Amino acid sequence: MTVAQPAAQAIDERPARHGMLRYALGKAGGALLSIAMVIVATFFLFRLLPGDPVRALAQGRNMTPEQLDLERHRLGLDKSLPEQFLQFVGQTLRFDLGTSYEYKRPVLDLIGERIGSTLLLTGTALVMAVSLGIWQGARAGWKPGSRFDKFSTAISLVLWSVPTFWLGLLLLMVFAAGVGPIPGIFPTRGIESVDAPDGFGYVLDIAKHMVLPCLTMVAVVYAQYLLVMRSSVLDEVGQDYVTTARAKGLRDDDVRRKHAVPNALLPTVTLVFMRIGFVVGGAVTVEAIFSWPGLGQLFYEAIRVPDFTLMQGTFLLITVSVILMNTLADVVYHLLDPRVRSA
Amino acid sequence: MRKWFAGLAAVVLLAVGTAPAEAAEPGGAKVIRVGATQAMDSMNPFLAVRLVSSSIHRWMYGFLTVPDAKTLQPSPDLAESWTTSPDGLTWTFKIRSAKWSDGQPVTAQDAAWTFTKMMTDDGAKTANGPAVENFASVTANGQDLTIKLKTPQASMLDNPVPIMPKHVWEKVGDIAKYEADSYPAVTSGPYIATEHKKDQYVKLKANPEYWRGAPKIDELQVIFYDNPAAAVVGLKKGDIDLIGRLAPPDFEALKGDDNIVQWNTEGRRATYLQVNHGATTSDNKPIGDGHPALKDPRVRQALHLAIDKQKLVDEVQSGLAKPADGSIVPPMYKDFFWQAEGGAKVSFDAARANKILDDAGYQKGADGIRTMPDGSRKLQFRFSIHTDTPIEDKLAEYLTGWFKDLGITLTTKRLDSSKFTEETGTTALFDLAISGWSVNPDPEEVLATHLCSRRPTASGEGGGTESFYCDPQFEKLYQEQQKELDRTKRAAIIKQMQERLYTDAPVIALYYPNNLEGYRKDRIAGITPIPEDRGMLYGGSSYWPFYTVEAVTADAETDSGSNTGLIIGIAAGVLVLAAAGFFVARRRGGVADERE
């Protein structure tokens, strides 16, 4: 008995571990393949877009033909398509995303300058949305048909279908400008005040600037966590182990918190990971409403110009991070759920 | 999980309550904040192309000349006087003895270095290359700057190039990559840039060494908004003191605020239709697929007659524009503006338009649509507009209606800006298209867009044309005005050019949109527009308004913001304590339950 137990364990675990490694490697390979395809697709996608970027840049400005040619040469647009493609792939593999047409600076530098503020905003919003969504979803699913459930479902459906731009502007007009008895307390734009104080005051200043954009993002994305969590808790409610726990005389809240919720968390966790990929892309709309100096704003600017290298670079970054996070989501799901592992 | 909720509420409310009020001013300095709906593309004047960037550079650097505040005629700036040789090819400017903000003297060497750099370095050509295109050589001798031209150029005094300090900039390696981000900048204009946070703001300090004397305020801040609606909220709230370049709906949103002055003046733009009247390349070969009927001047005239410009102004521009009875130079430029009068004036007259088409043999078919005199094609035109501009959509609706009454079908074609520029400027795949230019105090540049040489080559290279226009008469007038250094005589020629455009109608001017701005009168005590009699504040080619701006003294302000902050701060504190108390109580109860 004392000998057999470790042996049995070894037999149980070894193939599982190998399986896990093989699974992760397979997923990583798949991700690399996807990234390669995305690189190729990005190049051709942005070449398929109509229009001559140099001329678009010259719009509204007096440019001589020589100047246009010069600009074309400088951007490497006078080379043949295959040449441009090889150059693009070579550069991308060296993490060089080219030079922005409009800013005349490396795209990677421009991204680097803005990625921090995007991560701050979307990261905070994601944490809040996930927490709120899971909490509210679990309570709603636990007592389906209750007033709380009806209220939660209704509100999440409304927020899910509200256009982000509209909601953001509404919040801006009410809470930044002030309406009636509500004073305008939040800033209208940006990540910091022009004359922001130093030290802790600076942190508070940023926090104040984050409130409205964060609220907009949370309102728009938290509904999906709520709905997924609600339905998976709903699945657990009728399960035998829940009945057993209740029969043991445990408090209802404890049965929910300690038994049902952990089991119901799986699909939500996957959703969270998949969503992290989009965090890098930020919220183009939210950043544009609140002049938040992040990646979304950069992408929005790039589209407005249009600045093809900048669009290409940010697009590539966003797609690659989505692929990486999806892969991670698969692997984490695999780790968390033994049923998937053994299958 | 309730803990999360309480925590969230606490963080949010704490942030609100304790952060300092935005309007607080450091040390009672007089600060004016300008909102801009565009961020700087570059602080390097050789590279920056956006309007906001060139405005800020106008406030920072000296130019050879500056438009006079009253007449908009070129007046001395860094060049205190100038002479021209009789053949118009040699210009000598006397540079004034001013100082750079680091104390060094300004000399003709600085100007010569700036222009020569642009002539010899491809990177330095990026922003203002065409300005030195016609320069043969630039030399300096003490305070005298001599520019030799290849051909006479009357617009020489509207030179858009800021003069840079040679002793600072000659150390820059690659101009094309230089960000010019060391502060304070060395400048010779009214302001010195002291700080720039990308996409956030630029701070400009008054230059005490400025040759006209320091501005009346201490600091000018330019604050960037991505979203005009947010900027309007910012103005109402007092985050910014002035905002320019507003669209009619945003301008109307300022109505009814006692603290805000709505500044509605004549603008520097014209909105017009481009007509594909038979596009050709620069070697005179037909290009594109424009409708053949538009080659007929009578059809173009009929279209012009069918447009009710007053209605467009009222309905599309909310009345905030002036109907165009002229061409591409707006009435704001009094010296150069030309307006049709008497019999030459085209006024809305649908009956006459119909008659012209009837007489010209474009008969209406059974479906009410006209056909070409030879019956080959129906008069069905496309109208190219931009995808993202609601105002153009509205305009298209009106035109479609009027042209339908004329027996002409108009279909709207929405294009993104890069496709739009390609189709209307290179490939000529359009019939009618929307267009418009901002005009400088010297209209040479916008007139040049109608030159034969601006048409693209057969391979689609070059260009910068408006309607692919190429007309010997217009061309001759253009050359004449370039040689004419007498302003009055030159203006007369420029008016003839506009008359030619009006009667030949390769473009049909619709209206001149007003320049819409707003500022807070509780913050700005005085500001002189350019031109002085109800001109523009922001976006004109002059530092004048921001040199003359005066702030309301700080002690006259009320201090309501910080009180609100305090009240909310206290409320937040109470709420957080209550939430914490509630949570602790619940937690105790929970633990007790489990113990049992």
pLDDT digits over B506-534, tens only?
Answer: 999 999 999 999 999 999 999 999 999 88
Who has greater pLDDT, A307 or A228?
A228
Residue with tokens 């424009």: B290
Q: Do domains B31-259+521-572 and B269-514 have the same CATH topology?
A: no
In this structure, how many other beta carbons lie within 10 angstroms of the beta carbon of residue A95? Answer: 7
Residue with tokens 């109800």: B534
- Report pLDDT for A3: 42
| Bridge partners for B584 per DSSP | none
Closest CA to B503 of B321, B331, B277, B283: B277
Tokens of A8: 């049995």
- Report pLDDT for A342: 54
**Helix ranges (DSSP H) in chain A:** 4-48, 53-58, 65-74, 81-93, 107-142, 147-161, 164-171, 200-237, 240-247, 252-254, 261-281, 284-289, 295-304, 308-336, 338-342
CATH topology of domain A4-48+79-342: MetI-like fold (1.10.3720)
- Report pLDDT for B500: 95
Query: Which residue ranges make up each domain of chain B?
Result: 31-259+521-572, 269-514
Closest CA to A268 of A236, A235, A240, A231: A231
Whether A324 and chain B come into contact, CB under 8 Å, resolves to no
Who has greater pLDDT, B204 or A39?
B204
pLDDT digits (tens, 9 = 90+) for A1-38: 344 444 444 444 444 556 778 888 888 898 899 999 99
Interface probe with B: pick from A127, A139, A165, A195, most Cβ of B within 10 Å: A195
Highest mean pLDDT among A1-15, A102-116, A274-288, B459-473: A102-116
Tokens of A83: 């040449």
| Phi, psi dihedrals of residue B420, rounded to the nearest 5° | -60, -50
Confidence class for position A58, pLDDT limits 50, 70, 90: low
Using DSSP, state whether A293 is helix, strand or coil. Answer: coil
What's the whole-number mean pLDDT along residues A255-278? 80
Q: Which of A61, A64, A74 sits opposite B49 (nearest CB)?
A: A61
Interface probe with B: pick from A128, A131, A172, A193, most Cβ of B within 10 Å: A193
Q: At what angle do helices A107-142 and A295-304 cross, to 10 degrees?
A: 120
Compute the CA torsion angle A254, A255, A261, A263 (nearest 10 deg).
140
What's the whole-number mean pLDDT along residues A77-105? 85
C-alpha to C-alpha distance for B488 and B481, rounded to whole angstroms: 11
In this structure, how many other beta carbons lie within 10 angstroms of the beta carbon of residue B212? Answer: 12
- Report pLDDT for A213: 94
C-alpha to C-alpha distance for B162 and B127, rounded to whole angstroms: 11
CA angle in degrees (0–180, nearest 5) for A199-A205-A207: 110
Provide the percentage of residues in chain A whose pLDDT is more than 70. Answer: 87
In this structure, how many other beta carbons lie within 10 angstroms of the beta carbon of residue A341? Answer: 15
C-alpha to C-alpha distance for A284 and A240, rounded to whole angstroms: 46
CB B423 within 8 A of CB B430: yes
- Report pLDDT for B22: 43
- Report pLDDT for B596: 35
- Report pLDDT for A55: 65
pLDDT digits (tens, 9 = 90+) for B297-322: 999 999 999 999 999 999 999 999 99
Compute the CA torsion angle A319, A320, A324, A325 (nearest 10 deg).
-30
Given this structure, which CATH class describes domain B269-514? Answer: alpha beta
CATH 1.10.730.10 assigned to B31-259+521-572: no
- Report pLDDT for B434: 95
C-alpha to C-alpha distance for B174 and B121, rounded to whole angstroms: 9
Q: Say if residue A332's pLDDT is above 90.
A: no
Q: Say if residue A318's pLDDT is above 70.
A: yes
Closest CA to B547 of B56, B198, B57, B59: B59
Using DSSP, state whether B437 is helix, strand or coil. Answer: strand
pLDDT means per 10 residues, chain B with 596 residues, are 48 47 59 92 90 92 94 94 94 96 96 96 87 94 96 92 96 91 95 93 95 96 92 92 92 92 94 94 92 95 96 95 95 94 92 96 93 94 91 95 95 87 88 92 91 85 83 96 93 96 94 95 94 86 91 60 50 55 48 37
CB B76 within 8 A of CB B98: no
Q: Which residue of B has its CA nearest to A208?
A: B15
pTM: 0.84
Whether B489 and chain A come into contact, CB under 8 Å, resolves to no
| Bridge partners for B383 per DSSP | B412, B432
Please report the DSSP string for B268-316 in residue order: SEEEEEEE-SS-B-TTS-B-S---GGGGSHHHHHHHHHT--HHHHHHHH
Q: What is the mean pLDDT of chain A?
A: 82
Min distance B196 CA to chain A CA atoms (Å): 10
Q: Give residues 221 to 280 of A whose Cβ lies within 8 Å of B.
A: 251, 253-254
C-alpha to C-alpha distance for A148 and A141, rounded to whole angstroms: 10
C-alpha to C-alpha distance for B185 and B180, rounded to whole angstroms: 8
ipTM value > 0.85: no
Q: Say if residue A258's pLDDT is above 50.
A: yes
C-alpha to C-alpha distance for A244 and A250, rounded to whole angstroms: 9
DSSP tag of B38? S
Cβ separation A105–B226 shorter than 8 A: no
Provide the percentage of residues in chain A whose pLDDT is more than 90. Answer: 20
CB A320 within 8 A of CB A50: no
Beta strands B432-438 and B269-275 are antiparallel
C-alpha to C-alpha distance for A87 and A76, rounded to whole angstroms: 9
- Report pLDDT for A341: 62
- Report pLDDT for B258: 92
CB B190 within 8 A of CB B215: yes
CA angle in degrees (0–180, nearest 5) for A203-A208-A213: 120
Tokens of B550: 């005066």
Residue A27 makes CB contacts below 8 A (sequence gap 6+) with A327, A330, A331
| Phi, psi dihedrals of residue B135, rounded to the nearest 5° | -80, 130
What's the whole-number mean pLDDT along residues A271-290? 79
Q: Which residue of A has its CA nearest to B596?
A: A250
Q: Give residues 242 to 301 of B whose Cβ lies within 8 Å of A.
A: none
Min distance A23 CA to chain B CA atoms (Å): 35
* Minimum mean pLDDT range among A107-116, A324-333, B336-345: A324-333
Kindly state the helix (H) or strand (E) to which residue B590 belongs, with its residue range: helix B561-595
- Report pLDDT for B477: 97
